[in-house]
Amino acid sequence: MSENREPSSVRLAGTLGIAGLCSGLILVGVYLATLPRIQQNQAEAMQAAIYKVLPNASAIEPLALKGDQLVPFTGPAGAPTKERLIYLGKDARGDVVGYAVPAEGPGFQDTIKLLYGYDPSRRAVIGMEVLESRETPGLGDKIIFDPHFKANFEELKVEPKLELVKKGEKTAPNQVDAITGATISCRAVVSILNQSTQEWLPRIGDGASKTARVPGGQP
Amino acid sequence: MSPRQPERHFGPELLKGLWRENPVFIAVLGLCPALAVTNSLLNGLVMGAATAFVLIGAATIVSLLRRLIPSQVRISTYIIIIATFVTVVDFLLAALMPEAHKQLGAFIALIVANCVILGRIEAFASKNPVGVSVADAVGMAGGFTLALSMIGAIRELLGSGSLLGFDVMGPRFEPWAIMILPPGGFLSMGVILAVFAYLEKRKARASEAASHPRDGEAAR
């Protein structure tokens, strides 16, 4: 055995260098091989969420924010982009049914990312899905699936602004019934929505003026 | 441990990790993933499988290269090999099981720091031929997966009233939310460790009684 002989430092560095090189090559290969699938998964998850928050949509068009204008986004679907996108949903006749808007903000433990549907003709939120969150399992994470809480967002007026009330005390169309035991997470969702609607609503306007509409649609 | 080149057999090396030298319940290693991600059976299984992939892969490579890696840089080299497998499994999970990947989050990347893996590589695969090294890795990985699944099953059953997402406790069961929160991990782990310690003690007493039956009688 050669264990008593000290190996040269070239050999030591060489071993690590070769290990690193092989590792790098393998990782690049696996990354390239899995990338299309991973992007497709992300795009599919986004699509599924969009159709959930815009239940009447049969087609969606991504729109990018350019300056203060919404323009059709033509980049490849699912590819990572620096553009801020929202999604215009249309029904089978080409009428606008609403916009799906991604929004995010601080939750109880980490950033909550969510997507909500907004119908400009009713000036109301018509659906909300949590995309990513690390809220406490068993308590705060109820914002993801609690049916009573999610029902709040099926027709929720955004004016003057959203308000969180205790469970069962919802009286006005702009109020959200909180979940008992998940108050902080509910408050986070409401404040994310308030912030995002304040930012996006002026750009969306009534939904018709700033984006191209398919001619022949019902007024 | 026995001296330099002890004889190793495939079977015992494979089986010891499952129970007798279980990495979680007996060696009490790798507790971070064992407690952090086991709030459901599926999470325990996926975490166990990901760790198994890394452990078996790294043990194979290290055992094959054990004469080529100078001992002065062995730990760094092992870490490079382990980290490569971890990153591969991270990409694969993101591509094939996006839901589970989202649930496990950073804990997949943290497999690099799992001491079960470096422990088995350093204590076994770096000193033994590839056959028994793989057997050891498969056994240990199996034991680790078994442990995580056990904790995950207990916590999911009591904390959500379901197993693998299927409701098994019925509509009248009120889930113990604490079981899927961090304290639930510690509680389940503590109870299981106590059971293991009790079984060990009983076995030790039994084998002692079996090996000295005459002594016992003579003393009387």
Q: Identify which of A19-28, A88-97, B152-161 has the greatest average pLDDT.
A: A19-28
Q: Is residue B6 part of a domain?
A: no
Q: Is residue B218 part of a domain?
A: no
Which chain A residues are Cβ-neighbours of B73 within 8 angstroms? 12, 15-16
Please give the residue range of the domain that contains residue B203: 13-207
Q: Is the pLDDT of residue B151 over 90?
A: yes
Q: Is residue B134 part of a domain?
A: yes
Which chain B residues are Cβ-neighbours of A19 within 8 angstroms? 77, 80-81
**Where on the phi/psi map is residue A143: left (φ > 0), alpha (ψ -120 to 50), or beta?**
alpha
Count the domains in chain A: 1
The predicted structure's pLDDT at residue B3: 47
Q: Quick check: ipTM above 0.85? A: no
A138 with B96: Cβ contact below 8 A: no
Q: Is the pLDDT of residue A137 over 80?
A: no
If one compares B76 and B18, the residue with the highest pLDDT of the two is B76
Q: Identify which of B30-44, B133-147, B176-190 has the greatest average pLDDT.
A: B133-147
A5 touches chain B (CB under 8 A): no
Q: Are A174 and A162 in contact (CB under 8 A)?
A: yes
Q: Is residue A3 part of a domain?
A: no
Q: Is the pLDDT of residue B26 over 80?
A: yes
Q: Is residue B2 part of a domain?
A: no
Q: Is residue B219 part of a domain?
A: no
Q: Is residue A18 part of a domain?
A: no
- Minimal-distance CA residue of chain A relative to B68: A15
Please give the residue range of the domain that contains residue A153: 45-204
Helices assigned H by DSSP within B65-111: 74-96, 98-104, 106-109
- For residue A160, the Cα-to-chain-centroid distance in whole angstroms is 24
Count the domains in chain B: 1
Which chain A residues are Cβ-neighbours of B175 within 8 angstroms? 138
**Average pLDDT value for chain A:** 85
Instruction: For the full predicted model, state whether its pTM sits above 0.95.
Output: no
Q: Is residue A219 part of a domain?
A: no
Which chain A residues are Cβ-neighbours of B87 within 8 angstroms? 27, 30
Neighbours of B211 (CB within 10 A): 9
Q: Is residue A17 part of a domain?
A: no
B94 with A34: Cβ contact below 8 A: yes
Q: Identify which of A21-30, A151-160, A178-187, B3-12 has the greatest average pLDDT.
A: A21-30
Q: Is residue B4 part of a domain?
A: no
Q: Nearest to residue B14, comparing CAs of B190, B161, B184, B133?
A: B133
